[in-house]
Amino acid sequence: MQDLVVNTEDDPHKGQPATEPSTIELAEIILNVQDLQIGFGSKVVIEEVNLDLRKGSIVSLIGPTGSGKTTFLRSINRMNDKVSGFWTKGHITISGKEVLSPDIDLLELRRNVGMLFQRANPFPMSIRENILSGVKAHKLAKKSSHDDIVRDSLEKVGLWKAVEKRLSDSPFRLSGGQQQLLCLARSLAVQPRVLLLDEPTSALDPISVEAVENLISKLVPEITFIVVTHSLAQAKRISNHTMFFYDGKLMESGPTSKIFEDPEMPETQYYVSGRMG
Ligand SMILES: Nc1ncnc2c1ncn2[C@@H]1O[C@H](COP(=O)(O)OP(=O)(O)OP(=O)(O)O)[C@@H](O)[C@H]1O
Ligand SMILES: [Mg+2]
């Protein structure tokens, strides 16, 4: 079992770690991955992935392009299912429930495990309906509380002021950063327990990046985050645990401070020193 420590170095909220280390160490294991192997047809894309993740962690997934980060992330809420030739071996459990089981309720899984992609993907409906889409699909709330859910979700991501008078407008007129925040608000509206973020800030300007990073640190421990990033600085800033993927293998995984300052593997050392793409 791996220890999770909060890395407060480089933390923009220095002195105010999002979650106390002792809290994380005592928290329940929310995600367990055992001997996970994933492939497409005859090709093995990732193998030897093992992980115990405690509630309230912020995990960054780093590694060179093509190393398997997205494939791994998407397998946690079964987004690869429809890709032709996709197969898995091993186990992924969330709060003890086997994610890879054919019997799992996918709608329920994706309510608990939300996902945000590199490019914002608002639905072609109003800003308000975007926020309510999951709430309605899962019948999570009475109609009378919909206004409050819209407002709360948008306030959480800091968008309320900007959009309160245009809730019926299309989301596509919002800026790229605002669209990504809207998608985050839409994910939050169904109260997920885990959020998977695949390079969520790579298309954003520095101010929006900061807004998303601040938000992530405010939303733990209720939400546990797994964030793929090509920004080593971002991984250091936001995560308390780092997984380094290399050539389809989880080469090294541990507290962020350890992975960046004292890694075990030469490949990790090479990558975190910025000498590998
Ligand atoms: N549908 C597929 N069929 C065959 N191979 C695939 C498929 N999808 C992904 N792969 C391969 O799996 C490997 C891992 O891809 P993945 O997208 O997970 O990498 P990544 O680490 O997210 O890369 P990047 O940093 O560029 O986003 C790559 O070699 C990729 O070509
Ligand atoms: Mg990727």
Per-residue pLDDT tens over the stretch 83-107: 999 999 999 999 889 999 999 999 8
Separation of CA 210 and ligand 1 centre (Å): 28
- The CA distances from residue 8 to 11, 15, 145, 227, in Å, are 5, 7, 38, 18
Q: What is the pLDDT of residue 10?
A: 42
Q: List all residues 6 or more positions away from 210 whose beta carbon is below 8 Å from its beta carbon.
A: 12
Cα of 247 from ligand 2 centre, angstroms: 13
Q: Please report, for the domain that includes residue 165, its CATH number.
A: 3.40.50.300
Say how many Å lie between the CA of residue 66 and the centre of ligand 1: 5
- Report d(CA 248, CA 46) in Å as an integer: 4
Please tell me the residue having the least CA distance from ligand 1 atom 29.
Answer: 66
**Domain contains 150:** yes
From the list 121, 116, 111, 120, the residue with the least C-alpha distance to 198 is 116
Number of domains, the chain = 1
Task: Determine, yes or no, domain membership for 264.
Answer: yes
pLDDT value for 23: 62
277 is a domain residue: no
Ligand at shortest distance from the CA of 65 = 1
With respect to residue 4, please indicate whether it lies within any of the assigned structural domains: no
For residue 271, the tally of other CB atoms under 10 A from its CB is: 24
Percent of the chain with pLDDT over 70: 90
pLDDT score recorded for residue 3: 40
Which tens digits make up the pLDDT trace of 185-231? 999 999 999 999 999 998 888 888 898 899 999 999 899 999 999 99
pLDDT at 203: 83
What does 3-61 look like in DSSP terms, one character per residue? Answer: ------TT-TTTT--SS-HHHHHHSPEEEEEEEEEEEETTEEEEEEEEEEEETT-EEEE
Note whether residue 192 is domain-resident: yes
Give the closest residue (by CA) to ligand 1 atom 5.
40
**CB neighbour class for 102 (10 Å; exposed up to 12, middle 13-18, buried from 19):** exposed
Residue 3 forms part of a structural domain: no
Residues in the chain: 277
Strands (E), the chain: 29-40, 43-54, 58-62, 86-94, 97-98, 113-116, 194-198, 224-228, 241-246, 249-255
Low-confidence ranges of the chain (pLDDT < 50): 1-18
Q: Is residue 7 included in any domain, yes or no?
A: no
Q: Which residues of 42-55 are buried (b: 16+ CB within 10 A; e: fewer)?
A: eeebbbebebbbbb
- Name the DSSP class of 84: T
The pTM score is: 0.88
> What pLDDT score was predicted for residue 208?
84
Q: What is the pLDDT of residue 5?
A: 36
Please give the pLDDT value at position 258.
Answer: 96
Residues 6+ apart with CB under 8 A from 103: none
**To test ligand 1's pocket by mutation, which of 67, 81, 234 has the most ligand atoms within 8 angstroms of CB?**
67
Within a domain: 16: no
Per the structure, the complete domain to which residue 156 belongs is given by: 21-272
